[in-house]
Chain A
């Protein structure tokens, strides 16, 4: 009998009790046998406990390690980026611990630019973060280094969030798996994603077709056009609507060409004046291209059709067709009969076709104009340095300030010292004349600006504070936070130096 069998036997007896089940252990060879043999003279319960002690010790002392037969995973490749310095690592840890978390993107971006990576020990928490904040994914992938990629490969959740989700069998995968995989493929291999969708398109329910097609916005390109064009004849109205929207973002699409032809036929341009006739009907072909026949509130039915058509026309078409710059055309529109119609449609078209020149032209006199444009969407299309020039111009007139400052929330590239100075100056002016409510409304702006302002702001921050004493009390708190953010950013800048582009 082995010690293991004997232990099992002892356990059985102990459970029952020696009164019901007296133990009867067989003779064993060796020292353990001798010890057990010597117990026979003892009262049975005592012998039982002694045997437990002896056998347990025997087994513990003689235990052998469990040996794994399968090979360990292939080790991580060598790092190509050097690790960030200790100070930078400590600042990252502070943020991962939940302090100054809104500065994290800046740390990551600087590390990516400086070509350094995070210390290995901090990778799990960083990858967890990428899991919850999709916007950080790309930069996290860069600074996580070779070890990060290797580590993410070991954890399905991280792999799905940071790198590639596991490849799925399209025909048997669950809805979620399919959508994740599709989302990933649209980023990396759009054509393959399209082929997968097409392979089961005819059998999918309308809801599925709609969801899958919506993912085409990522990686959208001319190659998608034939499939999208065919989707304009889909049974589902929602699918048709999405297809038309996607096609209206592809300048070379047949849909854009048809729309351009329709609009140009209605245009009468002479002597720098933009005149047009409105369409008289919304025919079947127009509806197929996504023009919604029902009027929306505030706009006439026919004007509404016209606007929907113009938004599908790439804005560059206008300069080409009419031989005038975007700025000239915007000016012409503002003097003509259809100001709102043109400006709103062009703004939407500029966003759809990501046209920075038109976005800038439309914004150029934005604060003053009567027509409300989607400034937040347009401003992102303008290159950062041109953006700054716009802001600086706008801020010169104090009346614009509240509106401009709100648009500036979307200027999330590093600010120049000039813009920083002008903004603080503008804030100072605002606060000097602000009542308590206005001061209250400005508070969150400063806090957000602190994330992007030039660090020279630290020297100027002191000069801005509200005059109203009740507003001042509230202000001090946000002011302190803002200062804290700037100091923390200054530490990051010192710890991770990058060469200014």
Chain B
């Protein structure tokens, strides 16, 4: 049967997951029916009630709402409710509309209940969004130009509304990726010493994106996919899962966590033993929900991963795990700090928006530099650890001044250690906060 941890990742984005979780209360539903293979119900949102049916194997989520997102929040909510409050469902026969929707699911795939897939309507919806996003991109281009014409000197003094207004218009234009970058500018403006350079760096990167977007058709397919993903177009995970993946012995190298107050994100870094590829698996959880169980750091599994399209893509989904996990005993590492710099140059050449790199460094020694920590490689080249990293003494204790192997997330000239190879085992340095 389904569990909450399995349902949340079905959401296309954090917003859907959140909305779904909010709707998963029995009070919002009528006509809840559960059979062995399917559940159905009517969601009493504000205004029009929507009919929702879910075929549990699959799951195939069907809903009468007009949202373009599939699965929509109603579908997710019905699945969640079924897990949380089984008693709210009555056993017995599904209503005729649900039976009709669900009938083809045993045989052919049915997109929605409205008989056949309305390809024409779908094409129109996509075209509508394309137009909206393009308009948003155009507006952002003018906004950026304006910023540069008048100078950024007064950026720290700007009110929040200056940035938030633009970000909100981009959300309306259905370009959430751009909105996120504009909100990031607001943070940078008030980030203190050195903000000017950080701001300029981000303005340049954002400019590159809004210049590339209108020309996306002239770009190679990978880069085009990257540009669209950066702007905020999402990829259907269902479609992705249907594609062939990369089968390899995948090592789980490290996990990091983010929490924006509403949504928690788990970033799992994997490395393929024979492909040499790195993969990033994102998982989201709302509120106090635990994350879906995942293979722990320091294990290796025979698995098939599907990568999201993009330029030298890393984001991936685990399609299938084909073996029990075994411990990781060795890892492939970069050629010192210089090796990391070389890798970054190579990555930037194919994807100028890449800011985080997975990096395994061997033969490094943690050293203290005033209040900060550095990793020093055999040749003396160094890399800083972020101020926020609180386990410097622990690293030093494990190393004892001897060279160690560390995996972490590299950003600019810093690396956030996520795991350490000690006594022939790869041990996580992060743990999910309770």
Contact = CB atoms under 8 A, between A and B. Distances in A.
B276 to A, nearest CB: 21
A150 B398 CA distance: 11
Contacts of A151: 393, 396-397, 400
Contacts of B15: none
A72 B150 contact: no
A3 to B, nearest CB: 13
Interface stretch (B79-87, B167-175, B213-221, B343-351): B343-351
Contact of B153 (A16, A55, A66, A150): A16
Given A17-B149, A63-B413, A57 B374 contact: no
A155 interface: yes
Interface string A44-56: 0110111011111
Contacts of B146: 45
Interface centre among B374, B397, B401, B402 (most CB of A within 10 A): B397
Interface string B332-365: 0000011001001100110010000000000001
A369 interface: no
Nearest to A123: B397
Pairs of residues from A and B, 10 with the lowest C-beta to C-beta distance, nearest first: A17-B151, A76-B400, A75-B401, A53-B204, A52-B204, A65-B381, A49-B207, A124-B393, A61-B345, A65-B337
B249 to A, nearest CB: 26
Contacts of B344: 60-61, 63
A45 B149 contact: yes
A323 to B, nearest CB: 61
Interface stretch (B40-48, B119-127, B176-184, B193-201): B193-201
Contacts of B422: 120-121
B401 A65 contact: no
A441 interface: no
Contacts of A147: 397, 400
A60 B200 CA distance: 13
A154 B368 CA distance: 9
B56 interface: no
A61 to B, nearest CB: 4
B207 A53 contact: yes
B200 A61 contact: no
B196 to A, nearest CB: 5
B187 to A, nearest CB: 18
A16 B151 contact: yes
Interface of A: 7, 10-11, 14-20, 43, 45-46, 48-50, 52-57, 60-69, 72-76, 120-124, 147, 150-151, 154-155
Interface string B45-71: 000000000000000000000000000
Interface of B: 144-146, 148-153, 196-197, 199-201, 203-205, 207-208, 211, 337-338, 341, 344-345, 348-349, 352, 365, 367-368, 374, 376, 379-383, 393-394, 396-398, 400-402, 412-413, 422, 427
B264 to A, nearest CB: 22
Contacts of A120: 397-398, 400, 422
B367 A65 contact: no
Contacts of A57: 204, 348, 352
A15 B145 contact: no
A65 B338 contact: yes
A19 B149 contact: yes
B401 A20 contact: no
B341 A65 contact: yes
Contact of A67 (B152, B382, B398): B382
B400 A56 contact: no
Nearest to B355: A60
Nearest to A144: B397
Contact of B152 (A14, A43, A53, A123): A14
A155 B371 CA distance: 11
A173 to B, nearest CB: 23
B138 to A, nearest CB: 13
Contacts of A63: 341, 344, 413
Contacts of B381: 65-68
A56 B148 contact: no
A67 B151 contact: no
19 contacts: A14-B148, A14-B203, A17-B150, A17-B153, A43-B145, A50-B208, A53-B207, A53-B352, A61-B344, A61-B348, A68-B381, A68-B382, A72-B376, A73-B401, A75-B400, A76-B400, A124-B393, A147-B400, A154-B368
Given A53-B204, A67-B381, A155-B393, 13 more contacts: A7-B197, A17-B151, A20-B151, A49-B148, A53-B208, A57-B348, A60-B348, A61-B349, A65-B341, A65-B383, A66-B413, A73-B401, A124-B397
Given A61-B344, A67-B379, A68-B376, A50 B394 contact: no
Interface centre among B203, B381, B401 (most CB of A within 10 A): B401
A55 B144 CA distance: 18
Contacts of A19: 149-151
A15 B196 contact: yes
A62 B394 CA distance: 32
Nearest to B401: A75
Contacts of B207: 46, 49-50, 52-53
A74 B400 CA distance: 9
B397 A121 contact: yes
Contacts of B197: 7, 11
A118 B11 CA distance: 45
A14 B383 contact: no
B195 to A, nearest CB: 11
Contacts of B383: 65
A75 B398 CA distance: 11
A56 B413 contact: no
Contacts of B205: 53, 56
Nearest to B348: A61
Contact of A49 (B145, B393, B412): B145
A116 to B, nearest CB: 15
Given A62-B345, A67-B379, A76-B402, A121 B394 contact: yes
A15 B151 contact: yes
Contacts of B402: 75-76
